Chain A
Amino acid sequence: MKQEYTITIYTENQVGLLARIAMIFTRRKINIESMNSSPSEVEDIFRFTIVVHETEELLRKLVRQIEKQVEVLKAYFNTNDEIVWQELALYKVPTDIIAEKVVVERLLRTYGARAVLIRNDYTVFEVSGHREETDKLLEVLEPFGLIEFVRSARVAIIKGSHDFHERLREFEAAEPGESVSTNAFLDQQEAVFSM
């Protein structure tokens, strides 16, 4: 059964890796609903959060294909039950309308919008939440001269990840053969590989 899955990928920082990951989806003609990249809690390790609407069987295969990439440390996939997630939306609304119409002001209060910029001509509000919440506010603001709208990709925390940080560290330490590199260039990869 197809449903929404959130894929979390831990990677090194390497030019071209985004394309390599995206390729795994495009090759199978899978639409990426949202994609976010950010640093993780581990130094020099980046984290991608990708949302797709697919079957569990396919997700299992996708995640293995992703993990196979040289610069990927680990990839996980979770259902919405297993994560806490947020998206951020920005709304640009004419200031005079908010000033004149009480209903608009009430809407903004109801949806927990915060003003991030107030000017004479327009005001920018920010709302974070699930897709339905930000969509709903978009819908109700539309009749009141909404000027611009933008929404970020999903960011998500895996609920059952209390030991995750430890596991990532363990994964890093475990190396079959245990022969630790003496290559000075590789030990200082950040300094060497950044372009």
Chain B
Amino acid sequence: MQNKSPQPARDVSQIVDNSAHPSPATPDIQQLTGAEIIMKCLIAEGVKTIFGYPGGAIMPIYDHLYDYQDQLQHILVRHEQGATHAAQGFARASGQVGVVFATSGPGATNLVTGLADAMIDSTPMVCITGQVFAHLLGTDAFQEIDVMNITTPVTKWNCQVTDARELQAAMAKAFYIARTGRPGPVLIDVTKNAQLQLTDFTPYEPCRRLRSYRPKPIVRPEFIEQAAELINAAERPFIIWGQGVLLGRAESEFKDFVEKSGIPAAWTILGVSALPTDHPQNVGMLGMHGNYGPNVLTNQCDVLIAIGMRFDDRVTGRLDKYAKQAKIVHLDIDPSEIDKNVKATVGVWGDCKETLPLLTQMIEKRDHSAWIERFHDCMQEEIATVIQPELHPEGPVLSMGEVIRNLNELTQGEAIIVTDVGQHQMVAIRYAQFNQPNSNITSGGLGTMGFALPAAIGAKYGAPDRTVVAVIGDGGFQMTIQELAVIMQEKVNVKILILNNNYLGMVRQWQELFHERRYSFVDMQNPDFVAIAKGYSIEGQTITERQDLKPALDAMLKHNGAYLLNIMVGKENNVFPMVPQGCGVAEIRLK
């Protein structure tokens, strides 16, 4: 606990100097390097898995990691972006904080996409980047980049450590901020001198409070009362929920609320697995490619109860045509989300794990089956025009929907489905069955192609006992295809399902519908994915025929280890329903 006064950062020569004058021996205090302190902090925070890539400025950390391999499992990715997505997949499957190591300069800039994805999808993640020696900061040194300013817009919090004495507090703060409140990514940039510097290590104390940071707003009972009044008086209330329910681990509180209220409930793509797909009050998906009923009836309900969701434009369509007739109750842990896009009649600030039970207590038990029936009527119409032809196509060409239907029949809704971005994502999330929470992992807000493969690897580490199926398009797969090497090296048991139409399908669909079929640079000449998988010692096959579909999926799932199944699907199939951009949700098109 000595040497607390501020001092300028040291260079290596001073580190030797430092070790020559150790502090007076106290039983609790050890002298350790900054790099080793990071190991101690990670272990104390319960971290067991790290995704990373070494390099010059982070070598002291990797040098110590070598000695801690029995406690900290390090997964060597093939590109730093892969590390961030793997950490995201890990976090989303396990509910724990994902941890990433990367070096300075290009190592750090490669994290930016993953940080942005984790930021917009509220995923808890701690990234530790190496940085050049403190005395080289700002000198355009080799692999030096202004990581702090580059990552500020894409982190919940970031911090540069130039002195090892700051490390323990910074690490504690990082984990606290990443996982509390509305979770998010945090980055700590550690200069090489701080990694090498010897300093005191006292027993690790997790951070429990920050002067300026309120992770959860204090719940105000008057707003709960107002919300309950609106709900009790409603004739056609409608619940829409998002990832907040999962992040708050409030699935059972949510289920209680839904069941007592008797209100139909629809989900955003990040919220989907919080309530089982086959729950009688689960009426389906919201948004651009959501179900017909939830979109149309958003504009007919009288009270709209939004829980842990942020009214993204892909959910609301045109805002001035969105639920104008309804009173809005908005529950969110982040006060800045209330009134951001949709003005709330009653904004209930707080953690939904706390607010939902209070609300459940105050509402009357109701039966809204006549109103739910209207969702079912819409569903019948959607089944006839969209779902039946998608899940049971008559022509010879395979559809994405029938692949997911067959997958459901085999996994019975127990698998974790990791999706990339595009048509396959919308189809997979629309039709996949989810029985338990944290089963759907996708890039929602940022729409990051290349997310699925590394995220699936991370998800397998986060939930080793569950089956992990990565559903990926042929475009997105090639954006992070190098992570197949991780699957090979670490023998990660993930199932890779490529829905291959040799097109950038979603862009092509828009070009077909809105740009007079001018297919501008969406046609892809793809490599032989099975041959590539073979190069990485991953088994696989390509199928084109319907009769092979179910046996091939079954073989993939039963295969002992990773497997790649490349399925050739209809080249110009479209995803419907669709709310065209710039239209209101009620203008949803069935074809």
Contacts and interface: CB of A to CB of B under 8 A. Distances in A.
A60 interface: yes
Contacts of A19: 148-149, 152
B173 A184 contact: no
Interface in A144-195: 172, 174-177, 179-186, 188-189, 191-195
B5 A191 contact: yes
Contacts of B210: 70, 186
A189 B162 CA distance: 15
B164 to A, nearest CB: 11
A34 B565 CA distance: 59
Contacts of A180: 208-209
A67 B217 CA distance: 12
Interface stretch (A9-17, A81-89, A96-104, A125-133): A9-17
A61 B212 contact: no
A53 to B, nearest CB: 21
Interface stretch (B56-64, B291-299, B331-339, B473-481): B331-339
A68 B336 contact: yes
A188 B158 contact: no
B156 interface: yes
A68 B211 contact: no
A54 interface: no
Interface in A61-100: 61, 64-65, 67-68, 70-73
The contact size tier of chain A is 35 or more
Given A174-B218, A193-B166, A70 B209 contact: no
A176 B218 contact: yes
Contacts of A60: 339
B205 A183 contact: yes
B172 interface: yes
B24 interface: no
A183 B166 CA distance: 12
A73 B336 contact: no
A72 B5 contact: no
Interface in B120-172: 148-149, 152-153, 156-160, 162-163, 165-166, 168-169, 172
Contacts of B152: 16, 19-20, 23
A182 B4 contact: no
Interface in B1-17: 1, 4-6, 9
28 contacts: A12-B211, A16-B158, A19-B149, A67-B335, A68-B336, A70-B156, A70-B157, A70-B212, A70-B213, A73-B211, A174-B218, A176-B214, A176-B216, A177-B208, A180-B208, A181-B208, A183-B206, A185-B168, A185-B169, A186-B172, A188-B4, A189-B211, A191-B5, A191-B6, A192-B4, A192-B166, A194-B6, A195-B162
B202 interface: yes
Contacts of B166: 185, 192-193, 195
Interface string A116-140: 0000000000000000000000000
B558 interface: no
A16 B158 CA distance: 9
B169 A23 contact: no
Contact of A16 (B6, B148, B206, B335): B148
Given A61-B339, A70-B213, A192-B169, 13 more contacts: A12-B212, A16-B152, A27-B153, A68-B335, A70-B210, A71-B213, A176-B214, A176-B218, A185-B172, A185-B205, A189-B211, A192-B4, A195-B160
A177 B351 CA distance: 13
Query: Nearest 5 pairs between A and B by C-beta?
Result: A185-B169, A64-B336, A183-B205, A194-B6, A73-B212
Contacts of B165: 192
B462 to A, nearest CB: 26
A60 B337 CA distance: 11
B357 to A, nearest CB: 16
A182 B207 CA distance: 8
A183 B153 contact: no
A174 B148 CA distance: 31
Contact of B205 (A71, A182, A191, A195): A182
Contacts of B339: 60-61
A148 B211 CA distance: 43
A12 to B, nearest CB: 5
Given A16-B148, A183-B172, A193-B166, A172 B211 contact: yes
A63 to B, nearest CB: 9
A191 B4 contact: yes
Contacts of B9: 195
Interface string B236-258: 00000000000000000000000
A70 B177 contact: yes
A179 B1 contact: no
